[in-house]
Amino acid sequence: MPAARPGRELPLQRGRFCSGKRGSLPAQRPFPVIQKVVASMAHLQEEKLRLQEELLALQEKLAARESEELAVNVQLRGQVENLKVNLREQAQELSRLRSEMGGTDAEKHRDLLVAENERLRQEVKARDGELRELRRLQAACWDCTHLQENAGLQERLCQLQREAEEARAKLSELELEVQQKTNRLAEVELRLKDSLAERAQEEERLSRRLRDSQETIASLRAQPQHVKYIIKTVEVESAKAKQALCESQSRNQYLQEQVGMQRQVLKEMEQQLQSSQKTAAQLRAQIAMYESELERAHGQMLEEMQAMEDEKNRAIEEAFSRAQVEMKAVHENLAGVRTNLLTLQPALRTLTHDYNSLKRQVRDFPLLLQETLRSARAEIGQAIEEVNSTNRELLRKYRRELQLRKKCHNELVRLKGNIRVFGRVRPITKEDGEGPEAASAVTFDADDDAVLHLLHKGKQVSFELDKVFPPQASQEEVFQEVQALVTSCIDGYNVCIFAYGQTGAGKTYTMEGTSANPGINQRALQLLFSEVRSKAADWDYAISVSVAEIYNEALRDLLGKEPQEKLEIKLCPDGSGQLYVPGLTEFSVQSVEDINKVFEFGHHNRVTECTNLNEHSSRSHALLIVTVRGLDRSTGLRTTGKLNLVDLAGSERVGRSGAEGSRLREAQYINRSLSALGDVIYALRSRQGHVPFRNSKLTYLLQDSLSGDSKTLMMVQVSPAEKNSSETLCSLKFAERVRSVELGPVSRKAELTSWPSQEHLEGDVPGSSSRSHASPSPGLPSGRATSIRRKLQTSGKLRPVPV
């Protein structure tokens, strides 16, 4: 250990030096030597444990031996009898034993042990000193990076020391025990000596007495009777002496036994002492071994620490040189910064100034903000007020505009005529056959789409309507002319669209169309849906439909559960004068799919009610009644408009062909109802006080939709085929008459006259009467259309002449 002392100075100094630069040390690395030391310590620890276990085993063995000795003791007691025989020999042996072993040997052993103990104590002291030195060293470099390893090692060392201490304590205990046993041995020897002396004295005394007695006996034997007596007495006394001798002998025997026992004990103690000495020697050897291990570990640790110190110093030096370089750079930077600082100072001054002014602004900001907010609030309030007033103004204007629009619309419709008459000529079809009969008898005016010419019986008759659709006109084109009427229904007007014409002229085609090319019915509903959707922001609308049929003046509900049931038209009981049909089914529809379902249902009911649909449908009026109810959410205004789409029965003159029975009856009903419709329209257009609505079921049912500011469109369907020219002529005449009524002021004032019946229409042949509105000049050039119109209008201004 002293060899390690000079090396300790360096780590101490370096440790101190490095303590301030700890941060610049290289990264910690493992210490293999210390690890080795730790491992050897652990090994030593294990060794120590093993030794402790051995010690325990020895102690156990000792205990076992003691018990064995006890047994031997008992055996020895048996042998005591033999020992009694030769007391002297035993005494001699005892003395011999005393001289051989005696207290002197035990004392020698004790002294040896004491000396050993003293030596051990000295060693422990020395170790303590070293430990203190180590601790001091550790404390000196407590903040170096080896702290943790050192702490671990110290802990190990402490543990080892504690264990050495324990071993020492055990040793001193053993020593104490040896001492005690030595003392006890000395005591026993003393007692033995005393008892031997006592016995010798007694023997001496008894043998003296025996000699005396024998002498006395011998002297007395020589004497007479008296002497004999005395001899006897002496003899008696001699017996007593013998008894005493016996007692002494037994006592001697007892003492012999005691001596034997003591010898045994002595032997045992000697054995124990030997074993203790052996253990102590072993422990000492172990301690020496530990110490050498410790020393080696310490040496390794110092070496490791030395190496680490070197490394640390190297790192410190490197760091130092690096730091110097950095310092130089920093100095340079500092110089640059200083110069920058000089230039920055004016900027700083301006910044400070700015900062102060900003601070002032920030201080004033809440006030400013409040002020601004107040003014902004006032402005916003004012703006809101202005917007409100503007809104009010706009709303007012909007309502006025609405009114105006309605007025304008009404005016427009009025100008166009509340009752308008369109003509549509269907194309020639296969059914028309071939040859001259199937040739087209209708021609059109290229410059005027309101005029058409009919070649009838070699003469061309011209007719002017509101609009004429040639065969090539598509459903779409037709509907475009109609859609204004349809949309007016949304505004709350009642609208009637009639398809008039002979069977096969295209009425159903125009109204219903085909699924690929739908007619007015479906297009009207589609338009209504889209219009309603576009107005959804302001208006709530509900659209419902009814499908009915009038056959032989009987009204049937085609959507009802019992389509064959005849319905009645009644006056509303609320006294409003309105009509209604109790039991007429009304389906609410919201999409095209709904309409299709309704049509399908109506069609199905119509089919099941008749044997021949074509015939039946041509002899009945089919009605699709669409009701549009609206609510203007902003104004609360409610509107109800009705759109009546009527596919009329065929207008052909069946009655004239000599029909009889039910066929005739059907023809009469049809004729009457179509005449009644003509009458009503005529009365309406000529603004007559009385309108004969009640003359037929059809007009009675449509009373609401024909009167007032309702709008009516008569779509007159004609066949262009030569063979149908008579019927075409009738239809066109009907159309022209309907239309012409309104055109002249006279007609307005005209009194109610009877509408020409279907039967009479035929008689009104072109050119046959000056009362006809048709142009009497066949083959009139188209360029003259305008003059014809003028002429027609002039003739229209004259009174309409009932045929």
Identity of residue 415 = L
Residues numbered 248-307 forming contacts with ligand ADP, rule: CB under 6 A: none
Residue number of the CB atom closest to ligand ADP: 506
Determine if residue 744 is labeled as part of a ligand binding site. Answer: no
Binder to ligand ADP among 422, 500, 509, 539 (CB under 6 A)? 509
Determine if residue 564 is labeled as part of a ligand binding site. Answer: no
Per CB under 5 A, the segment of 121-129, 501-509, 703-711, 782-790 that binds Mg ion is: 501-509
CB 380 within 8 A of CB 678: no
Which residue, 203 or 449, has its beta carbon nearer to ligand ADP? 449
Count of residues near ligand ADP by CB under 6 A:
13
Q: At what angle do helices 5-19 and 225-416 cross, to 10 degrees?
A: 30
- Which x/- pattern, by CB under 6 A, does the window 36-65 give for ligand ADP? ------------------------------
Binding of ligand ADP by 501 (CB under 6 A): yes
Binding of ligand ADP by 336 (CB under 6 A): no
Nearest to 548, CA basis, from 602, 491, 475, 616: 602
Determine if residue 504 is labeled as part of a ligand binding site. Answer: yes
Binding of ligand ADP by 427 (CB under 6 A): yes
Q: Of Mg ion, ligand ADP, none, which one sits near residue 563, judging by CB under 5 to 8 A according to partner kind?
A: none
SS3 117: helix
CA torsion angle 480 484 486 492 (round to 10)? 170
Binding of ligand ADP by 505 (CB under 6 A): yes
Binding of ligand ADP by 618 (CB under 6 A): yes
CA distance linking residue 11 with residue 35, whole number of Å: 19
CA distance linking residue 249 with residue 301, whole number of Å: 76
Determine if residue 501 is labeled as part of a ligand binding site. Answer: yes
How many other CB atoms sit within 10 Å of the CB of residue 202? 16
DSSP string spanning 568-589?
--EE-TTSS--EE-TT---EEE
- Which x/- pattern, by CB under 5 A, does the window 462-491 give for Mg ion? ------------------------------
Binding of ligand ADP by 506 (CB under 6 A): yes
Determine if residue 502 is labeled as part of a ligand binding site. Answer: yes
Beta-bridge partner residues of 620:
551
Determine if residue 505 is labeled as part of a ligand binding site. Answer: yes
CB 188 within 8 A of CB 262: yes
Tokens matching residue 684: 């309406």
CA distance linking residue 458 with residue 436, whole number of Å: 13
Strands (E) in 296-447, as ranges, are: 419-425, 442-444
- What does the buried/exposed string (b/e) look like for 261-280 if buried means 16 or more CB atoms within 10 Å of the residue's CB? ebbebbebbbebbebbbebb
Nearest to 90, CA basis, from 224, 260, 323: 260
Binding of ligand ADP by 90 (CB under 6 A): no
CA distance linking residue 145 with residue 309, whole number of Å: 10
User: At closest approach, how far in Å is the CB of 600 from Mg ion?
Assistant: 17
CA distance linking residue 135 with residue 495, whole number of Å: 119
Q: Of ligand ADP, Mg ion, none, which one sits near residue 509, judging by CB under 5 to 8 A according to partner kind?
A: ligand ADP
Binding of ligand ADP by 429 (CB under 6 A): yes
Binding of Mg ion by 508 (CB under 5 A): yes
Q: Of ligand ADP, Mg ion, none, which one sits near residue 172, judging by CB under 5 to 8 A according to partner kind?
A: none
Per CB under 6 A, the segment of 142-150, 497-505, 536-544, 753-761 that binds ligand ADP is: 497-505
User: At closest approach, how far in Å is the CB of 575 from Mg ion?
Assistant: 39
User: At closest approach, how far in Å is the CB of 506 from Mg ion?
Assistant: 8
Q: Of Mg ion, ligand ADP, none, which one sits near residue 521, judging by CB under 5 to 8 A according to partner kind?
A: none
CB 395 within 8 A of CB 387: no
Binding of ligand ADP by 507 (CB under 6 A): yes
In the annotated binding site for ATP, the residues are 501-508
In the annotated binding site, the residues are 501-508
Contact residues for Mg ion, defined by CB under 5 A: 507-508, 617
Contact residues for ligand ADP, defined by CB under 6 A: 426-427, 429, 501, 503-509, 618, 717
